[in-house]
Amino acid sequence: MDIAGLPTDAAFTPTFQFAEDIDPARAPEDVIASAGTLDFKPASSRIPQFSAWQSDVWLRFALKNSSSDVQSAKFALRFPYLQRTDLFEVHSDGSLHQSTAGSAVAVTGTGVAAAYPAYHLLVPPGESREYFVRVRSSSLIVLPVIIASEANFARRIALETLVWSLIIGAALSFAVYAGSMSFAAANGSFRIYICFALSVAIYILLSSGLVTAIFGMHLHFNFGRIVFFTQAMMMAFGTMFIMVFLGMEKQAPRLYRIFYAIAFISALTAISAGLPSWIGRTSFYIATGAGPVILVAGLAIMASSGVAGARSALIAWLPCLLATVWIHLRMAGVTPYLPINLFLLPLAFAFMLAYLSAVLGGQARQAEFWSNSDAMTGLGNRRLLDRICELENRQTSERYSAAVAIDLDNFRLINETFGHTAGDAVLVSMAEKLRVHFGGRGDIFRTGGDEFLILGYHWQSRMDIITQANTFLQSAQAALQHEGNYINVGASIGIAFHDHRTGFAGMLRQADAELYHVKSSGRGVIRIADQRKRDRRRSEPVIFADNDDTEERVARMFGTSNRN
């Protein structure tokens, strides 16, 4: 193959000859010297693959340069799981120049730091070069081989790095999100999920080959073992998460035992390096092959049985099953090797993290909502009010300018006369009326049995708050119909406005005090605490000459004007 005419931005798959089942202990010089007697033959497919567990695979090719200038190119084996590859360049005098790259060895010679084994080729003008490549791996060997120009190789590296960075970034983001949820939730499934999310993120990071490219240039360390370890732990934590998330021990005890066995076998795979090879290999195939199929089948059974959450877990795991099936069919030679093959499983796991994080995030938000909401009315509860009070007392945000304390009249009599069901109906009805009148104007709370509180926002005028309270009072006095009975309900209201001297806590105390005065003196009315009236008694009137006529308008509203 002449690389003199290789376009600046081009890449091609050259014609190779392959020889497999070569003894790893055999010296490279001996293999190259006896290449004519070895069974080197053309590849049977465009992207060949081998199951060379205990032997090496060799390939050979030749390049020539018919130009008068030195020609360069990049030779790449675009499969990140190759533990060791050695490139032997045969010079015209018969000498060999060896270079090394792979996931378990340091980069030497003309090797290039990349996510997969790659080498820099230089062919002098008018000369030819013969190359031999030794490939070694303890797992499947796939050889998508290219020879690319410098520009094309740089573009491929940049594009693949961008794709991997997006996938890894998404996985890490969801892992961090899962961690934030796990700290706020008491559910044990969140703790397991954070372990699962982190193992997925680490697996994607390692399987991309980027760690090898960045940190493995000078390390003789087998990153492939960590990939298999994280893949096994990912399966183990994923299975355990499903078991806890769905409560399988009670919901589906038989499937629980099967899932427990899958989790155990997956954990066994993680330590397979210290076990006999046949045990490690068997457990790996069960964990990564049969395991996902069994998981999805079990989830489908539980989803059809109506187990809560099983459908969400099934949707999350289904892409992983499809990707796993595709990869195993590729190993069997049924499906072709495509450039996206390397991204299939990481993409499937990234989708799983995204979907499960959304599901768990929804559950966490729902749990937070119900922990801060009254179960009957849906209004804010005392716990939420206490948190707001603590926040407002700690800082001077002045988000709220008014407090409206409400207590229903004769509510105990309603419960005694018509029953607690009628009392509950009254509370729900009053909550809806409060939403109608104060929704968007303030935060509404149910603070006790028949007690409510509205914190009016600071942008609401005093007159608007008073008007809405009066409208609600009139609405509350209308009879309610429940199970053929007409129930008369009333309300007493105390209103206080924010005062810089007493602060938020003082405003709440004043609203309660005004409500207490109403309850003590007849009920069914509104009592308003206005600090400005007390200020007028102690200050010169000219200072308040531009005050609005709120007091007079309130007096006219209730028919108590003192104007002559």
Give me 48's structure tokens: 């060949």
Q: Region 101-128: what's the mean pLDDT?
A: 90
pTM of the model: 0.67
Whether 545 has a pLDDT exceeding 60, the answer reads no
Give me 438's structure tokens: 């104060």
Domain-wise residue ranges, the chain: 11-148, 154-371, 382-529
Q: Model confidence over 393-421: pLDDT tens digits? A: 777 667 888 999 999 988 888 888 888 88
Q: Quickly state the pLDDT bin for 275 (edges 50, 70, 90).
A: low
Q: Region 350-379: what's the mean pLDDT?
A: 81
Question: What is d(CA 469, CA 438) in angstroms, rounded to the nearest whole number?
Answer: 8
What integer pLDDT is reported at residue 74 of this predicted model? Answer: 93
Give the number of other CB atoms < 10 A from CB of residue 446: 25
Give the number of other CB atoms < 10 A from CB of residue 254: 10
Q: CB within 8 A of 356, min separation 6: which ones?
A: 193, 312, 313, 316
Q: Model confidence over 434-488: pLDDT tens digits? A: 999 998 889 999 988 889 999 999 888 888 999 999 999 989 888 888 887 888 8
Whether 89 has a pLDDT exceeding 80, the answer reads yes
Q: Write the CA distances from 519 to 158, 367, 409, 492, 516, integer angstroms.
A: 75, 36, 9, 7, 5
Q: CB within 8 A of 84, min separation 6: which ones?
A: 100, 102, 104, 105, 134, 135, 136, 137
CATH topology of domain 11-148: Immunoglobulin-like (2.60.40)
The distance from CA 392 to its chain's CA centroid, rounded to whole angstroms, is 32
Question: What is d(CA 248, CA 225) in angstroms, rounded to the nearest whole number?
Answer: 32
CATH topology of domain 382-529: Alpha-Beta Plaits (3.30.70)
Return the CA Rg of the chain. Answer: 37
Whether 560 has a pLDDT exceeding 50, the answer reads no
Q: Quickly state the pLDDT bin for 50 (edges 50, 70, 90).
A: confident
DSSP 393: H
Question: What is d(CA 458, CA 456) in angstroms, rounded to the nearest whole number?
Answer: 6
First to last CA, the chain: 112
Edge-to-edge strands of the sheet including 526-529? 442-446, 451-457, 400-409, 490-497, 526-529
Residue with tokens 């200038």: 69
Q: Quickly state the pLDDT bin for 536 (edges 50, 70, 90).
A: very low
Q: Model confidence over 159-215: pLDDT tens digits? A: 988 988 888 888 888 878 777 766 655 566 777 888 888 888 888 888 888 887 877
Which stretch of 41-50, 364-373, 474-483 has the lowest confidence by average pLDDT?
A: 364-373
CATH superfamily placement of domain 154-371? Rhodopsin 7-helix transmembrane proteins (1.20.1070.10)
Length of the chain in terms of residues written:
564
DSSP 373: B
Question: What is d(CA 235, CA 265) in angstroms, rounded to the nearest whole number?
Answer: 9
The residues pairing with 101 across neighbouring beta strands, listed in sequence order, are 85
Whether 153 has a pLDDT exceeding 80, the answer reads yes
DSSP string, 145-200: EEEE-HHHHHHHHHHHHHHHHHHHHHHHHHHHHHHHHHHH---HHHHHHHHHHHHH
Question: What is d(CA 25, CA 346) in angstroms, rounded to the nearest whole number?
Answer: 35
